[in-house]
Structure 1
């Protein structure tokens, strides 16, 4: 497996397994005020947020679908690094999600 394929596989593992499991653990922790809550729990939501963030816009305007088959080495590296920063708490997932949703809302607005 080449490096890009390995990075894509890691990205998929992080967004399909690791992050959803962590989100469920964090979001179900009762009575712990210091526990951070994540705004999403599903794999496709993590993928949307990560890809939109690395593209700085709606990902499918920049990457052919399905994205995991078309990520280049730079994009795959950025996606894995972002996932790791989210998991470690170095990135605010709530803010990244809000950015993603704003990019998508802008896509559907019309100016007359």
Structure 2
């Protein structure tokens, strides 16, 4: 049985607010804040800027179950060290036209909407 919408959203919030930020510093990731993890995972799950694919904010509430599931799976792969978060971040920034303007890829500033 697939997870309920409430379960998907709860898992998402734990992932981006607790699990990823908890290990970010130890792993030397270029991002640390929950909204940055959400941006990176959602952008990569969409294959471009999430706000071009999701109508409404917050994105996790308005994303389809399928999209949120893809973003959650990607986050799980990041936690398991099977996917490089730094590369996902670079892709996200490139889709947003931000990559060339950043030095050191320190991207904890809020993304433009």
Give TM class, smaller chain: 0.7 to 0.9
Two-structure CA RMSD over aligned residues (Å): 1.4
Q: Does 1:96 align with 2:109?
A: no
TM-score, normalising length: structure 2: 0.78
Q: Which runs of 5+ in 1 are unaligned?
A: 27-35, 107-112
Tell me, in whole angstroms, the C-alpha distance in 1 between the residues paired with 2:72 and 2:12. Answer: 5
Question: What residue number does 2:44 align with?
Answer: 53
Q: Which runs of 5+ in 2 are unaligned?
A: 99-113
Question: What residue number does 2:4 align with?
Answer: 3
Moved segments of 4+, more than 6 Å: none
- The answer on whether the counterparts of 1:15 and 1:43 sit within 8 Å (CA) in structure 2 is yes
Q: Of Structure 1 and Structure 2, which has the larger fraction of its residues in helix?
A: 1
Question: What residue number does 2:29 align with?
Answer: 38
TM-score, normalising length: structure 1: 0.79
